[in-house]
Each structure stands twice: as structure tokens, then as C-alpha cells.
Amino acid sequence: MDRFNRRRFLKCAAAGGLAYAFGRTPQAVSAATFGSNAAFADYKALVCVFLFGGNDSFNMVVPRSAAEYSAYATSRQNLAIAQASLLPINSLVPDPNGALHGLHPSMGEVATLFEQDEVCAIVANIGPLIEPTSKAQYQAKATRLPPQLFSHNDQQDQWHALKGEATLKSGWAGRIADALMAPGASPPLDQSLAVNLSLNGQTLFQAGATSVPYTMGPTGPVPFFGLENTDAYTLARRAAFESILRANHATVYERAYSSVQQRALQGAAKVNDALASVRSPNAAPFATAFPMTPLGQQLKTVAELIAARDRLEVSRQIFFVATGGFDTHDAQVQDQPQLLGGLSNALAAFYRATVDLGVAASVTTFTQSDFGRTLTSNGDGTDHAWGGNQLVIGGAVAGRTLYGRYPLLQIDGPDDVGGGRMIPGVSSDQYAATLAKWFGVSAGSLSVVAPHIGNFAQGDLGFMLT
Amino acid sequence: MNALPGRLTPMVVAATLVACGGGGGGGSNPPPVPPVTQPPPATISKAEAYRFLNQATFGATDAEAQSVIATGYEAWIDQQLQRPASLELPHVQQAFAAFPPGADFTRLHEDRVDIWLRHALHAPDQLRQRVAFALSQIMVISQQSPLVGYPWGCASYYDMLAQNAFGNFRDLMENVTLHPAMGVYLSMLGNQKPDAARNIRPDENYARELMQLFTIGLVQLNADGSIKTDTAGKPIPTYDQEIVQGFAHVYTGWTFSGAPSFATAFPTIANQIRPMQAYAEQHATGTKRLLNYPGALATVIPAGQTPEQDLDAALDNIFNHPNVAPFIAQRLIQHLVTSNPSPQYVARVAAKFDNDGSGKRGNLAAVVKALLLDTEARAAPASATAGKLKEPLLRLTQLWRAYAAASQSGKYNVQNITGLIGQGPLQAPSVFNFFSPFYAPPGEVANQGLVAPEMQLTTEYLSSLWTDYVFVLAFCYTTTPVQGCPPIPDALRPDLVIIDAAAERALASNPQALVDAIAVRLVGGPISNTLSTQARGMVERAPSGDPALRVAEALYLIASAPEVALQR
């Protein structure tokens, strides 16, 4: 079949003597720089791991103390995780009611990060909110709520953009980049590679008002065949290609298309050179092996990009990676071990790689997901809900702690707004503001990054070490 | 529910193959379409014919353009409306019959993509297939799900879309709802009635997405597609959680057909291509609240009805919602013609949905015809927002059609088409398709309140994949490859798709003629001065004694250019 294999194609083409058309010489990046390089003195990276579909996170972090487990098991019935199989964790800040929790049995590595390494924090029952809302207020419609609460794309956008009732065209990561790169920012950040790098498509999360994200594939950018060598003929072809892109175009569509292609062309060689340097057999920047899953591969590439940060001349990066399959309307019991186990493997490998690289305290990884899921089921799966639990991992995290308030998992209980949907106690705005503050966003800009932060008493959830 | 492999036995397989038979076309005759009173154009230029065909087919060709010029747009459409659907399922069944025992039948999806590409390249029912393709991106199912184990069901689902493309929208809604592939994808299949003792509530997935993504959307619309607002200026939701629950209760008790009971139903090759069956013992029989809108017939379904009665009432309730016409009009216009239609254009097409001219609501053939013949689709584009970006699959089929792409074996068996170009039929990452109708890339498009849905697939990464593929095609996978292309392994050669650029090769000694010929092939007329000049410059730089290289340089630059990425 037409099995077009890029790597073999390039290798064979170079061997066939078509080096001037294919492949590239290592020093393909010209001496021309991309601009001056004002930067932070230190390096920091945020890594967003988005779990598409809505992670059933009340089966990820589960109550194991008697009364709380009983309520959980009564609600969850055949979808409840067996009490004896939970991996015990003990938060350094005890639950006010003495409740204890455990992780899903497939998440051994994350349990270790939480309990032994103390670099993992859990933020309990968090979700999009405009202002604090109790169950009574929800039922009385007494507060403003994010619209379309149980719709996938609307809630993904809420997590990405913290938009509430507004129509925002930027996401909170995009706005962080905007703030850091604004004229008059301190320090004036002017790195040649975008602050926001995605390895999994375009999202509202990284769209900025002024800053532009750079999207690459799971193993990095795609090199441009026939445009990256530095012989005269190839340079002429590249010049022709670029002239075509830069021409005056009649439509908004051509202009949008051509600007993406131009960014691709500018970024590909620089990023690929940096990746090649850390991927060469002599380099081996980290010893950790990554799982061969889509998420594992994305996080491995992120680790390599972090390893190459000096060559890339960057001091602030926000990475976006993602994995799907969490919309467990069916076969939840069969599917969750793989979903959560895969997540745990990949997160742990990534953390270990940052330790190998000596940057564990400079890199903070955090999960986001459309929503948590219903305590009720349809027989073999769950439905869209609201509040859920998220993980934050890194050397700068005040770990081994459960933040927020873990709700009582009782159908029709004090936190259930219908159908077993937990009303969040902590907002995504607070989550974002806490991460943005650590990342270096000034206090004055936090309300731009997280527009509703002023509605909440606790602007910093406290899960980052100061 | 159980995955398919555990349930298949050779006897079941043999029996179903006998029952299925082969057969080519199929599909009901479309309902009569009242004639459109449009003065025929005096003459249609080749460039205009190409514009039309890039909206109405998988890529303009010289032969089809001659046909349009000869008959005019309306007659061409009428001919297309009469053509029966080319089907995928027989091909998938044939491919399976040739599988060795124990082979991984999920590979049949490759055969499904193969026949999809063959239809896109060669099928005579081009307009029907183009509309089916659009419908498959509105009423989405995807093999990136448990449906990876249901290749027959996926092929059958696509055939159903093709067969309904010129039928009535109400029939389409029912056929989509009852198709087991959709049932598996959005959890209606096997949906149980409430059971308070076990904390079981009917799943709401299908209830939600049928309304949100397939028919009416989240907010009330005016007839021209604009969003209605209340006195405070806020959009008005079309439904609330209680209504979602009402519909969820309607969609209970349905599962794979042919079993004695709900609990014993299981998938086979045969029943995954037949409508789901209702099993009353698992149907929720209480009252159900449905959509409430002016003129709504049944806003609350009474208790005690059969599953079939409830389904009928529910689908009628949705079908008659005033949102459906502008919702579907807008989606089809965006998939075929332009990302940013004027409100008036949407209103004209929506009006045709509401009443095809003979009093019938939901006549898709009338809607498609109106959409293509509308002045906004046919007039020479003048504004900066006319047209749309081509999605990767259409860029591929257009390029392949223009250059008679073919393999020795006759197959178009691209192993991982989504990995190659970022898009594949029934391979979307989620029910939200490859791109959202509301997507606006940051910058000019977003700032002006416009949308460019296909830009969501146009990332630095994916656009580079495409540009690289054009390079490979132009330089190597062609009847006139340049020196130094990588050797093609014998095992892969029969299925390798190559283009035929022999005619261009003959023009290589005349750079301008070469560039002009490529332009005519790809867009039916002239390209911009810049593109023409730059392409010609590279042709002249390539040695005159190397015609293959000259052709490759020109074809690469032109086929990858932004103006050829544009459909206008």
C-alpha cells in the first residue's frame, strides 16, 4: 500500500544523490538571528496535560476512610474501585473531617511522586466558576455560572480561556505570553521562539491577543523537504517559496494560511537543530525511558526541548500536550486502568527526566480536563459532570498535599447539583492564577490572565513553594 | 458491550456474506426538486466552471468542466441528483472475503479509505458524494473510538449518508439515530432505562450531541443564522438540562437487532449494518420533556408509549424546530462554498429548507441546488472573505483528480491518511470533527469576527506535512520523476499512487507555457503574477536538459501556494 514513510524517504533520497533537493546539512540555520534576546535570568516551564473527554477523576483520587468510602461506593455501585486496591496517600495537611484518600490502583508512579517524592499535589473538586457558588445558590440561580456546563467543547474552552460568560478569543496561556512580552514588561522578554508551544494541535488555551503559539507534531516540527539546504540552488527555491508566501493575498484565508507556513518555515530548522543536538547518540540528556504512547512521546519531546533550552535561547515556555479517550460513557471499568495507568506512567517519566536534567524545580506540570463525571452511571459508564480532581507535579510544587475541599461523594448530598454532579469548590481561575504567579506574571497582570480571580477570596491556592 | 472478535464464528461470517450480496449503486430516488428560476449564464468560462466544480465535486477536471460549460450549472446539478449512490460496504465485504483466517479485521478500515478515495477520484455521483462528505463532518462518527472494531458498520454508515444526501432531512435524522455505528459512537446503543436502586440514569450523550451538533445548536438562531439575544443582549439557549434528560429517556431500550432480549443482544457483522432494534423492557416509559418553541407539537411526551412512538415524536419535535433550517444551511454552505456567508445567503438557503417550493420541509436536494446556484456562490468573488480554505482531503483529491493519480493495482490504499495529511474519512479525533464551524485563527480573522474553520487543521505542523507531500508527489511520485528519488520497494510499488505529469513534461522547454499549463490544470485559469513569476524563475533555473526537474519545480511551488489552498 501507499505507505509513505518520511524517514526512509529522506534517508534513501540523500543516498540517491539528491542531497541538493532533499535533506539538510546540519548547519542549515543561517547566521541571521531572529532578534535580540532579552530574557529572564532563570528558566521556567509550564506543561499543560489536557485529558480530552472529561476525566472521571473521582475514580482517580478516591476516599478510603470508612464513612467517605461508604458514601462513594453506594453512589458508584458497580463502577466503584475496590477499597482494598486503592493506593493510600496521606496529605500533609489533613482533611478537616479526617477523611483519607487513595489513588486508583493503576497510578503507582504518581502515588510515589505524591507520597515519597512529595512533588505531586492534588487540587480537589475544581472546575469553571465565575464566582463562588453553593448548591443552594446554584438551585436558586442566584449566581452567574459559566454557560453550557455539560457540553464538551464549551467546557474545554472554559478551562482554556476562563471565559465565563464573555466571548474571549484568547486563552490563559496566551495571555501569560502576552503579558510577559508586552512592552514595559519586567524583564522585557523577547525570545525568538514562541512562549507557547503545542505538540497537540491548536487550542484556545494558547491563543494570545498579541502572542502567537507554535504548533509542532508529537516528535517535533516537520522539516521542509527541499527548502533547508544552503546550496545556491536550494536557497533560490526557498526564496521563491517565501516570496510566494509573502505576496499580497486577496483573502483573509490566504493570509492566515501563509502566515502559518511562514512561521513553520522560520521555526522548523531552528527547533529541529536543537532537537537533533539532544537526540544525538552522544548527548543522552536524560536516562529515563518514556512510554511509547502518544502522551509519552509528546512529553519526551517536551523533555528534549527543555534539554535544548539554551540552544533555543528561551527562558519561558508553556507546553501543551494532550491525550484523549476519557469520555467514558461506556466500558469505564475496562478502560480506566489503561487511561489512568498511561497517564501515571507518562507523568512520572517526565518528572524523572526533569530530575535528570537538573530542572525539576523549574518545570511544573498540571492536568486539565473538560469536566469530572457523574456519580450516577448508565450501567457501564458515566456522564458529563462538573467538578473534578487535578494533579500538579514538579520540584517547585508544595506536594504531598490535597488542596481545596474534597466533597462528599453522595448522590443528592450537599455537593450534588443533580444526577451526581459535584459543584466545584475551587475555580479554574484560581488554579491558573496560582500557576501564572509562579511562572513570573506580575501581580497586576494576574486578573488579565484569570479574569474572575477577583471574585475569589483565595487568589493563590498555595500549591507552589514560594 | 462485547467487542466483535469474541462473537464472530466462521459460520456467522459465511451466513452474513451470503445474505449481503454485492451490488453497486443504490439509494432512493430523490424527491422532485421544483425548478429554480435562474437565467442560464450566456457562457461559462473555464475558470468559472472550475470554481463551480471545486464546490460541487472532489476536484475540477477539464472533462467535467467541458460538461458544465456545455449543459450549464442547473442541468449539471439535475443530472447529478439522479445518480444513485456509489457504495463502500460491498468493497469492504469483498476485501474481508479475501482475508486469511484470523486476520485483523480492523484493517478493513484501510479498504474503506481505499474505496472512499476511489469514489472521490472516479465516482460519477460526485455531488452526492461531496454532500455525504459534508454530512459525515456534521453527523460525525469516527474509527478513532470503539468503532475501530466495526469497519462494516462505518462503511454502512457512510453509505447511509450518501443514500440520504438528496433525500429528506427527517429521514436522515432517523437513519442516523438508528444506525448502530452512531449508537456505539454516542452511547445510545445499549442505553438503559432508569434504575434508582443501582443509581442508573439514561446516558445523555446522544441526546445532547444530536441537538448540539447535528440539528439545532446550543442557542436560538434567526432565520439568517445570526444568534438571537434576549433583552439583556445574551444568547438564548435552545434547551436546558431537563430537556436533555427528556430526550435521553427517549433514547433508551435500543441495541443490536436480532436478539431475544436487550440483555442478550450482541454485535455481528450482519446487525452492525442494520438499524438498531427496540427492546421495550429497557425503555423508559415515563413522561419526557422535549423542546419548546412556537408551534411545537409535542413538548411533553406522555407516559406509556412504545420506544418507536417516543422516537418518532422526539425526532419530529427536533425536526420542526426553527433552528434546523439556518443551522443546516450554514453548515452545508461552509462545507461547500464559503466560511463566511452573508446572512442573506444563509436566509435564502434556509428558506429552501423550510419550504422547497412545493410545501415540503427538509428537502436536501432542493437545499443543495439552491446553495450552489445562489448568486453568492456563482458570482465572481470580490471580497476578502469570499470562499474558504480547502481542507487537506479536498486538496489531495483535487490534486489527484487534476493529475489522474493512480496506482498500478488500481487501489488508493494509503495506510494512514490522517498521519499523512492530517485528515481522513470517518477518522476525526472526536464528534466535534476535525475542525469547528466556529473556529477563528487569532489575528485578522478573529479580530474581524469572522471564522475560518479549516484553519484549525492548518497548524505549522500539519501545513508542513502537506507541503512536504506535494514535494514528494511533484518530484518523485510522478510519471516523470527527477533523478535521485529514493527507490520504491517492489512490495510497495503496485499500490503506490503516482500522478501523471507527462503533458507538462512536453512543455518543459517553454517555461511560461509550462507554468500556464499547470495553472489551468489546477485552477482552470490564470494564477497571480507573483506565483507565475516565481514558478517560472525556478523553471528557468533548472537545466533545460532536465525536463523532469523543471516540471517538478513548477508543480511544487504552484500546488503548495496559498492561492491554490484557497477554494473560491
Radius of gyration for the alpha carbons in chain A, expressed in angstroms and rounded: 23
Cis peptide before B486 (omega within 30 of 0): no
- pLDDT at res. A34: 35
pLDDT at A452: 98
Residue A227: partners with Cβ closer than 8 Å, 6 or more residues away: A234, A237, A238, A241, A265
Instruction: Match 481545596 to its residue by C-alpha cell.
Output: A404
Among A residues 138-177, those touching chain B with beta carbons less than 8 Å apart: 147-148, 150-154, 165, 169-170, 174
Give the model's confidence band at B492: pLDDT under 50 very low, under 70 low, under 90 confident, else very high. confident
What does the pLDDT read at residue B298? Answer: 83
Whole-number Å distance between alpha carbons of A79 and A374 = 11
A112 touching chain B per CB within 8 A: no
Residue B78 has pLDDT above 70, yes or no: yes
Chain B CB contacts of A154 under 8 Å are: 218
Q: Look at chain B and count its residues.
A: 568
At residue B42, the pLDDT reads 72
Spatial contact of B259 and B265, defined as CB atoms under 8 Å apart = yes
Residues of B in contact with A223 (CB under 8 A): 464, 468
Looking at the complex, does the CB of residue A238 fall below 8 Å from at least one CB of chain B?
A: no
The answer to whether B444 contacts A3, with C-beta atoms less than 8 Å apart, is no
Contact A169 B234 (CB under 8 A): no
Q: Looking at the complex, does the CB of residue B493 fall below 8 Å from at least one CB of chain A?
A: no
Nearest residue to A345 via CA among A59, A108, A53: A108
Q: Which of A2, A208, A260 has the CB atom closest to B460's CB atom? A: A260
Q: Tell which phi-psi region holds residue B59, choosing left (phi > 0), alpha (psi between -120 and 50) or beta.
A: left
B102 has pLDDT over 50 = yes
Question: Tens of pLDDT along A77-116?
Answer: 999 999 999 999 999 999 999 999 999 999 999 999 999 9
Residues of B in contact with A371 (CB under 8 A): none
**Packing angle, helices B108-122 and B392-402, rounded to 10:** 60
Mean pLDDT of the B91-102 span: 95
Return the higher-pLDDT residue of B419 and B176: B176
Check CB contact under 8 Å for B200 and A222.
no
- Alpha carbon of residue A374 to chain centroid: 24
Which residues in chain A are closer than 8 Å to B531, comparing Cβ atoms?
244, 247
CB atoms B471 and A8 under 8 Å: no
Q: Kindly determine whether residue A377 and residue B389, on different chains, have CB atoms separated by under 8 Å.
A: no
Instruction: Determine contact: A12 vs chain B, CB below 8 A.
Output: yes
The tens digit of pLDDT for each residue in B334-364 reads 999 999 999 999 999 999 999 999 999 999 9
Which CATH number is associated with domain A42-228+266-455?
Answer: 3.40.720
For chain B, say whether A232 makes contact (Cβ under 8 Å): no
pLDDT for A28: 29
Chain B interface test: which of A1, A167, A178, A245 (most B C-beta within 10 Å): A1
B390 close contact with A: CB closer than 8 A: no
Dist. CA B154–CA A171, nearest whole Å: 36
Q: By the CB < 8 Å criterion, does A222 face chain B?
A: yes
pLDDT at A133: 98
Closest Cβ opposite residue B459 in set A22, A201, A418: A201
Task: Characterise B118 by phi-psi region: left (phi > 0), alpha (psi -120 to 50), beta (else).
Answer: alpha
- Show pLDDT as tens, one digit a residue, over chain A (466 residues): 444 556 556 555 544 444 334 433 333 232 222 334 567 889 999 999 999 999 999 999 999 999 999 999 999 999 999 999 999 999 999 999 999 999 999 999 999 999 999 999 999 999 999 999 999 999 999 999 999 999 999 999 999 999 999 988 899 999 999 999 998 888 888 888 999 999 999 999 999 999 999 999 999 999 999 999 999 999 999 999 999 999 999 999 999 999 999 999 989 989 999 999 999 999 999 999 999 999 999 999 999 999 999 999 999 999 999 999 999 999 999 999 999 999 999 999 999 999 999 999 999 999 999 999 999 999 999 999 999 999 999 999 999 999 999 999 999 999 999 999 999 999 999 999 999 999 999 999 999 999 999 999 999 999 999 7
Amino acid at B318: I
Helix locations, A50-134, DSSP H: 66-76, 108-115
Give percent above pLDDT 70 in chain B.
93
Q: Which pLDDT score, from 0 to 100, does residue A85 have?
A: 98
pLDDT band at residue B30, thresholds of 50, 70 and 90? low
Chain B partners within 8 Å of A232 (Cβ): none
H-run or E-run covering A368 = strand A363-369
Long-range contacts of B501-510 (CB under 8 A, 24+ apart): B501/B403, B501/B474, B501/B551, B501/B555, B504/B480, B504/B551, B504/B554, B504/B555, B505/B480, B505/B547, B505/B548, B505/B551, B508/B539, B508/B544, B508/B547, B508/B548, B508/B550, B508/B551, B509/B544, B509/B547
**Span of A35-39, A375-379, B100-104, B320-324 with lowest mean pLDDT:** A35-39
Among the partner residues A16, A209, A225, nearest to B484 by beta-carbon distance: A16
* Predicted pLDDT of residue B279: 98
Domain coordinates in residue numbering, chain A: 42-228+266-455
B223 burial via Cβ count (<10 Å: 0-12, 13-18, 19+): middle
B168: pLDDT confidence band, cut at 50, 70 and 90? Answer: very high
pLDDT at A7: 56
Q: What is the pLDDT of residue B409?
A: 94
pLDDT score for A466: 74
Residues with Cβ within 8 Å of residue B355, at least 6 apart in sequence: B361
Compute the radius of gyration of chain B from its Cα atoms.
25
How high does pLDDT run on average in chain B?
92
- Is B430's CB within 8 Å of A53's CB? yes
Tell me how close the Cα of B420 comes to any Cα of chain A, in angstroms.
8
Terminal CA-CA length for chain A: 57
For B184-219, what is each residue's pLDDT tens digit? 999 999 999 999 999 999 999 999 999 999 999 999
B92 within 8 A of B52, measured Cβ to Cβ? no
**B563 in contact with A, Cβ within 8 Å:** yes
Residue B488's pLDDT band (cuts 50, 70, 90): confident
What's the pLDDT score for residue B36? 54
Q: Find the residue in B nearest to A151 (Cα).
A: B208
Please list every residue in chain A whose beta carbon sits closer than 8 Å to the beta carbon of residue B566. Answer: 251, 253-254, 257
